[in-house]
Amino acid sequence: MAYIKKHTNDIMGTSFTVEQNIKGKMHKFYVKDLGLDWDKTKYKYRSISKCVAGFLTINSGEGYLCNLFRYEKNKLFNVEIQLPGSDFYVSVLNMKGNKFLHIDKTVVENLTIGDIHSTFPNMADYGHWKSIGSKTWAGLAYGELKDSFENITLVEA
């Protein structure tokens, strides 16, 4: 079960709060819409991940969003990208306790069940996937949310 609350203001635009039942407990995370492109635009990025020795490391490079979320389970903690024509970085993923805290709308709409199992297992919710009719790991993990962001009647803040 997931609940979505829409927030709109003049400065930040539209964002969402998602409350999801994970392993019998409600977990809340925040979704913002930066208008990013999943697989056509290369972004400069920085990420924080855990190396084999257990230390946190900072990685940087250039790549498509669709390739930045393929890590071993519980190893990815933060991803920031540099928007085209800008000199600063913005966060597209922040983790807390191996669960989403902040995530970009484009990212959450495109993560598959396989991505969640492989990289973010603490976000796995079989009840949610069953309720949206997912049958394979290739299915969108938040397929319901993708439609919900656009078509569902949301609670206005």
Q: What is the pLDDT of residues 106-136, one digit of tens each?
A: 999 899 999 998 899 999 887 777 777 778 8
pLDDT reported for residue 61? 96
Instruction: Find the mean pLDDT for residues 79-107.
Output: 94
Considering only CA atoms, which of 96, 122, 120, 98 is closest in space to residue 107?
120
* Predicted model pTM: 0.85
Q: Which residues pair with 3 in a beta bridge?
A: 19
Query: 78, 95 in Cβ contact below 8 A?
Result: yes
Q: Per mean pLDDT, which range of 12-16, 33-37, 67-71 is the poorest?
A: 12-16
Residues 6+ apart with CB under 8 A from 40: 64
